[in-house]
Amino acid sequence: MASWVISECGLKPLPRIYPQTRNGLASKPIRPLLLSKSKNLGSALRLSNGFRGQSWALNVSAPLNVVTLGEDSVNGVDQDGGEFDPGAAPPFNLGDIRAAIPKHCWVKNPWKSMSYVVRDVAVVFGLAAVAAYFNNWAVWPLYWFAQSTMFWALFVLGHDCGHGSFSNNPKLNSVVGHLLHSSILVPYHGWRISHRTHHQNHGHVENDESWHPLTEKTFKSLDKVTQILRFALPFPMLAYPFYLWSRSPGKKGSHYNPNSDLFLPNERKDIITSTTCWTAMVAVLVGLSFIMGPIQMLKLYGVPYWGFVIWLDLVTYLHHHGHEDKLPWYRGKEWSYLRGGLTTLDRDYGLINNIHHDIGTHVIHHLFPQIPHYNLVEATEAAKPVLGKYYREPKKSGPLPFHLLGVLVKSFKKDHYVSDTGDVVYYQIDEKLSGS
């Protein structure tokens, strides 16, 4: 079954601009790089988490060089009247975007972050108590939708801990991250490390690990059943737990194994810790099943858990796929941290925006994951004038984001593989698979 699992976020060797070890990973935390082309060198971009000593936060390095367009192009539009080219290098750099974002947007308030944790945990237990009290089939479907959404909200807060945007205290980030992620059966450190590499390589055909494209050769080497399972809903929306165990086709490693190639030797203690916490949560669930009965635990926890998995796969996929215009993927010299980040998409989830902590404001989060979630909307608004047409305004949602279901279905019907060659490539369609 694991052979058809789609990658959500994993670990691959970093691009050549990073120091390499035998397994392709940086041997030390990656130091932030200054962008020499920033208009204001005094405020040049630094993507450090600001911690001393061991850091559990995300260290994202900017590329050594940001390629700019020639004088005959502005914001990807040829001055002779050509159309906007989303694959063209932008005329701005990361420092320009950073300078446009108000300084207070970078401030991490641990009390504010913790208030969201208290709110979400209280809602989770409140929903469970109400559902268990009524124990009525008129209530259970509503509970499953609400609770799975809250599980997803807990994941997003744990995700902030992994990035270091929850607070400047690495121990607080680690403790809260373990509690939140273990409660929904996610190995905190294992996922944190693989997700770090996704951010460092977003938009790269081979190195990106978050719903990265298959090459044509790989796609055509899959048997028909695997192709259908990979692209036929709802199967791709149930992939995340299987990915955590064995990653995606053609890649090896488990997020639970400290000896996996996913991790450096000095990270193995972290993996043992997160796997132990995960195991403890499984033991708690087994014990509760004996106390409350397996059917009751299935209704209270099992179904919401799989609903959370669907939320995770849905949101992470749509942040990288499904735009009405084709978006590029890069290889080689054409890839840069900035250009890869600009291929991500913001999405509007209606009333869910506040519940899942505005994770739909994804472009700025990808470029600057140190910004706390409660400042992402303001930071995005401030950056829009700099981004120009490289920012794609999301379609407004009704109270619930039903419009995204159509986007999801359409994307899985047409976004199947990319060319085996070329440094700027776009998704292509397999007509036979689309028809099936």
d(CA 318, CA 337): 20
Which span out of 81-95, 155-169, 204-218 was modeled with the highest average pLDDT?
A: 155-169
Q: Is residue 238 part of a domain?
A: yes
Give the number of C-alpha atoms closer than 13 A to the C-alpha of residue 149, restricted to the C-beta side. 18
Q: Is 305 exposed, middle or buried (0-12, 13-18, 19+ CB in 10 A)?
A: middle
pLDDT at 435: 59
Residue 286: pLDDT above 80? yes
List pLDDT tens digits, range 407-435: 999 999 999 999 999 999 999 999 888 65
Q: Is residue 339 part of a domain?
A: yes
Arithmetic mean of pLDDT over the chain: 84
> Band of the pLDDT at 10, cuts 50, 70, 90?
very low
pLDDT at 46: 38
Give the number of C-alpha atoms closer than 13 A to the C-alpha of residue 345, restricted to the C-beta side. 22
For residues 108 and 167, is the Cβ–Cβ distance under 8 A? yes
Provide CB contacts within 8 A for 293, sequence distance 6+.
Answer: none
Q: What are phi and psi of 329, to 5 degrees?
A: -120, 150
DSSP calls for 59-127? --PPPS------TTEETTEETTTPPB-TTSPPSS-HHHHHHHS-GGGG---HHHHHHHHHHHHHHHHHH
Residue 398: other Cβ atoms inside 10 A = 10
pLDDT at 77: 53
pLDDT at 165: 97
Residue 433: other Cβ atoms inside 10 A = 19
Q: How far is Cα of residue 384 from the mean position of the Cα atoms in its chain? A: 21
Q: 159: closest CA among 192, 183, 117?
A: 192
Give the residue-averaged pLDDT of 28-49.
Answer: 37
Q: Which of 14-18, 119-123, 254-258, 402-406 has the lowest mean pLDDT?
A: 14-18
Q: Is residue 294 part of a domain?
A: yes
Give the residue-averaged pLDDT of 362-368.
Answer: 96
Q: Is residue 135 part of a domain?
A: yes
Q: 86: closest CA among 428, 429, 426?
A: 426
Provide CB contacts within 8 A for 376, sequence distance 6+.
Answer: 358, 361, 364, 365
For residues 397 and 349, is the Cβ–Cβ distance under 8 A? yes
Q: Is residue 76 part of a domain?
A: no
DSSP calls for 23-58? TSS-SSPPPP---TT-S-GGG---------SS--S-
Q: What are phi and psi of 281, to 5 degrees?
A: -65, -40
DSSP 8-state symbol, 201: T
Q: How far is Cα of residue 141 from the mean position of the Cα atoms in its chain? A: 28
Where is pLDDT greater, at 6 or 169? 169
Residue 26: pLDDT above 70? no
d(CA 211, CA 205): 10
Q: Which of 180-194, 208-222, 363-377 has the lowest mean pLDDT?
A: 208-222
For 411-431, letters b (16+ CB in 10 Å) and e give bbbbbbbbbeeeebbbbeebe
Which span out of 8-17, 156-165, 192-201 was modeled with the highest average pLDDT?
A: 156-165
Where is pLDDT greater, at 238 or 84? 238
Identify the domain containing residue 420 by its residue range. 2-16+102-435
Q: Is residue 219 part of a domain?
A: yes
d(CA 262, CA 10): 8
User: Considering its fold, how many domains does the chain have in total?
Assistant: 1
Q: Which of 73-82, 211-220, 250-259, 288-297 has the lowest mean pLDDT?
A: 73-82
Q: For helices 170-183 and 110-134, give the axis angle rounded to 10 degrees.
A: 20
Residue 204: other Cβ atoms inside 10 A = 24
Q: Is residue 47 part of a domain?
A: no
Q: Is residue 417 part of a domain?
A: yes
Place of tokens 């939320």: 311
Residue 135: pLDDT above 70? yes
d(CA 91, CA 70): 8
Residue 318: pLDDT above 80? yes
Token pair recorded at residue 412: 């899985």
| N-to-C CA span, the chain | 20
